Amino acid sequence: MYLVNDIIALLAANLILMQALGTSTLFIAAGSRKNLIATALCITVFTTIGSAAAYLIDSSLPVDYDYFKLLIYTLTVSVMYVSMLTALYFTARENFERYRKYIHLSAFNCAVMGTLFTISGKAADDSSYMNIWSYVRGGLEAGAGFVIASLMLTVAYRKLNSSKVPASFRGFPAMLIYLGIISMAVYSLK
Amino acid sequence: MTKKQRKKLPERRLPEMNERRNSVFGGILGDNIVLSGLMVISPVIICGDNVRNAEALIYAFTAITFFSVMIASFVPKSIPYTLKVVIYAIISSLVYIPVRLAAEEYYPEAITRIGIYFPLLAVNSLIVFQTEARFFRMKKLRMMFTLIFCILGFDAVMLLTAVIRELLAYGTINSRMADADTLISGLSQPFGGFIMLGLMCGAYRWIRSAARREKDSSRSVTDVSGK
């Protein structure tokens, strides 16, 4: 029963289905299994490490300087972005060209930035979330939520892009409507 | 559209697509960033359920995107792509600060309602990734007009979505009572936003292809009469 509750909680807090964050990236990720794994992995790394960094920023940034939060988050994500590309270059130089696009795709993404701001907002509303574990868990949950939403879309991806769908609705429009229906089902679980 | 799909297209359509993409006015109808490019869709889906939110988002998006792209156009092209992306993101994060301060003066309530979508507008893919491909290959003046029409394209979609969703979900337009018999409260929810945007995307594509067919048929009539 705990597992069911956890799954429902994970779905109800899903950044894509409930907050539409990273939807366009999801459409790319759902295109193939390789895209899904690589994008989901990159996004999870960004959200998890980014969340830990966001905790340090939030706990040290005075409330009066809230305007600078975006700039500091951007700088943090930029450092991670360059570091990940550098790490990929030195560890898997032969695959660098093939995999760097996933890092480009994931870095400055609504799913990543949205996660950082969502967790930060949650901690501002409820001080019990103001600890590094809650931040990191939030980052991991966001990554897991992305994987779940991607899997749901992958299942129907081919059908939504098939010639049986009217040309005007084929692809993105059909995928948006499909996500809307899934989102409606998840909304009813809340 | 992927490179693979582009390869499959008949040769006749490729120049047309490039023409549409390069057109100054294309940002509104021909190549709308929301309906065609699916960029910056999360604020439209989540916050686009009433006109007051839409006004605040339009202001924020217009100011942040315009100034960020204009400033970013002065970044030297010789810098590596990764560093350029970082610089564009930092520029837009800096532009966000005065825009946010001004918004607190004019839209204090909307700031709370829009929440995280306000800062997220500053790191949208149009500024961070698409600027290179869309704008920086043009001359400054042409780029400025193209950018303005791109922004107007977003503004139009945002406003249209907000008007329809507010009318159908709450029975009001800009918080004033309207004569709506049937209310669909689900349209104010995120799932309503997804479905509404999907329907709008489909309608937009249908209109665009109908207009293209019309143009093609009028062209062929002209060709025949020319002969």
Mean of pLDDT values over A68-74: 93
pLDDT confidence of residue B11: 45
Decide if pLDDT at A105 tops 70: yes
pLDDT confidence of residue A76: 94
pTM of this prediction exceeds 0.80: yes
Q: Which residue has the tokens 């870095």?
A: A107
Closest Cα in chain A to B203? A168
Query: Per-residue pLDDT tens for B19-56?
Result: 555 566 677 777 888 988 888 899 999 999 899 989 99
Helix, strand, coil shares of chain B, percent, nearest 5, are 75, 0, 25
List chain A residues with CB under 8 Å of B123: 70, 74, 108, 110, 113
Span of A20-29, A118-127, B38-47 with lowest mean pLDDT: A20-29
Mean of pLDDT values over A22-44: 87
Q: Which residue has the tokens 């509303």?
A: A125
| B89, B129, B209 ranked by CB distance to A78: nearest | B89
pLDDT confidence of residue B14: 47
CB–CB of B86 and A174 under 8 A?
no
Evaluate whether A22 touches A111 at the Cβ level (below 8 Å).
yes
One-character DSSP codes across A75-143: HHHHHHHHHHHHHHHHH-GGGHHHHHHHHHHHHT-HHHHHHHHHHHHHHHH-GGG-SHHHHHHHHHHHH
Q: What crossing angle do the helices spanning A110-125 and A132-160 adopt, rounded to 10°?
A: 140
CA neighbours closer than 13 Å in the CB half-sphere of residue A149: 38
pLDDT confidence of residue A99: 87
Q: What is the interface size between A and B, counted as CB pairs within 8 Å?
A: 137
Any A CB within 8 A of B202 CB? yes
List chain B residues with CB under 8 Å of A21: 42, 120
ipTM: 0.89
As a whole number, the mean pLDDT across chain B is 84
Span of A23-37, B190-204, B208-222 with lowest mean pLDDT: B208-222
pLDDT confidence of residue B12: 46
Largest CA distance in chain B: 64
Delimit the domains of chain B by residue range: 3-216
Query: Per-residue pLDDT tens for B111-140?
Result: 888 888 999 998 888 888 888 878 888 888
List chain B residues with CB under 8 Å of A78: 86, 89-90
Question: Rounded to 5 degrees, what are φ and ψ at B176?
Answer: -105, 140
pLDDT confidence of residue A1: 65
3-state secondary structure of B50: coil
When mean pLDDT is compared over A23-27, A81-85, B16-20, the highest value belongs to: A81-85
- Sign of CA pseudo-dihedral B155, B160, B165, B170: positive
Any A CB within 8 A of B184 CB? no
What are the tokens at B30? 């021909």
Span of A51-60, A91-100, B159-168 with lowest mean pLDDT: A91-100
d(CA B162, CA B157): 8
Q: How far is B197 from chain A (nearest CA, A)?
A: 7
Determine which helix (DSSP H) or strand (DSSP E) holds B176, and give its type and residue range: strand B176-177
Closest CA to B166 of B187, B197, B148, B146: B187
d(CA A180, CA B104): 32
Evaluate whether B56 touches B46 at the Cβ level (below 8 Å).
no
